[in-house]
């Protein structure tokens, strides 16, 4: 065998093993950028009391979240943010929910904000359950918990609502699966091979018995509109569809804040009167 052939016979398996070790970590960083920075004093200036609370997931990871309380809440919205945010970036959204007479528990996943640990698909499922259990321990009945998942947050939201009772489920710009998003956005390359997390929402959504509100934008440049619509079509009754135009994935709330709040307020009137 030529010298280069002998070198290749040794180097190729090493390179392959190295790729197998590195690719999953690259995929995790793509799905979970896990920002830590933010205006952590912002909640102290809010017009509603917001407590920074901590509780543990089943594996012992400490999660730090914001718990907003109104004077006479009709329900508690358990809010799961997108992959590029932590709770500090969604304060305006939390305040809009509070104006609908809802308490809000905004979870920061492991690795995000001030929460400990490293994010993963299974880890986010554990985090969602820990937040749910925290609310139960605070005396909030399951019949008054409305689960809200935005973008990536739809993954833990759908998983939680498919396994545990709740008053309702709100999904905003949520995908059928992470792999489906990768295939849709980069169809000529097998980018989904890089992505260990998947969040297969499509296989779970039919198991959600609670009423559901789906919010989407036709011009979503991150999560294809068709995927959110397919989730809606697959979901069991009762379900409501609300779509917006002239906005993208990240500015839907900012451009249509008033109509967004009206849609959610109408849904809360039905599930938590």
Which amino acids are annotated catalytic? 151, 220, 249
Tokens standing for 38? Answer: 């933010």
Question: Which runs of E-coded beta strand occur in the chain?
Answer: 50-56, 62-68, 75-80, 102-107, 145-150, 168-172, 212-217, 239-244
Taking residue 211's Cβ as centre, other Cβ atoms within 10 Å add up to 19
In the sheet where 212-217 sits, what is the strand order? 50-56, 62-68, 102-107, 75-80, 145-150, 168-172, 212-217, 239-244
Q: Is the dihedral of CA 176, 217, 242, 80 positive or negative?
A: positive
- The backbone torsions φ and ψ at residue 166, rounded to the nearest 5 degrees and listed phi first, read -155, 165
Are the beta carbons of 158 and 204 closer than 8 angstroms?
yes
């Amino acid at each position: 065998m030529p010298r280069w052939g002998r070198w290749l016979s040794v180097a190729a398996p090493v390179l392959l093993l190295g790729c197998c070790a590195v690719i999953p970590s690259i995929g995790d960083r793509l799905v979970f950028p896990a920002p830590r920075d933010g205006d952590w004093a912002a909640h102290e200036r809010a017009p509603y009391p917001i407590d920074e609370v901590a509780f543990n997931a089943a594996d012992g990871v400490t999660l730090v979240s914001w718990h907003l309380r109104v004077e006479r809440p009709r329900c508690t919205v358990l809010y799961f943010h997108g992959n590029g945010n932590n709770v500090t970036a969604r304060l305006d959204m939390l305040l809009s929910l509070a104006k609908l007479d809802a308490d809000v528990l905004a979870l920061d996943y492991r690795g995000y904000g001030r929460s400990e640990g490293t994010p993963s698909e299974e880890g986010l499922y554990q985090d969602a359950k820990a937040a749910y259990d925290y609310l139960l321990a605070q005396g909030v009945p399951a019949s008054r918990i409305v689960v809200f998942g935005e973008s990536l947050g739809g993954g833990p939201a759908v998983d939680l609502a498919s396994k545990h009772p709740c008053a309702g489920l709100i999904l905003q710009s949520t995908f059928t699966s992470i792999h489906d998003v990768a295939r849709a956005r980069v169809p000529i390359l097998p980018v989904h091979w890089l992505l260990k997390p998947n969040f297969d929402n499509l296989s779970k959504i039919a198991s959600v018995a609670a009423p559901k509100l789906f919010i989407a934008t036709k011009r979503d440049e991150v999560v294809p509109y068709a995927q959110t619509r397919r989730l809606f079509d697959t979901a069991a009754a009762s379900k409501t569809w609300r779509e917006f135009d002239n906005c993208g994935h990240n500015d839907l709330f900012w451009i249509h804040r008033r109509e967004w709040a009206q849609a959610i307020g109408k849904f809360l009137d039905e599930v938590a009167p």
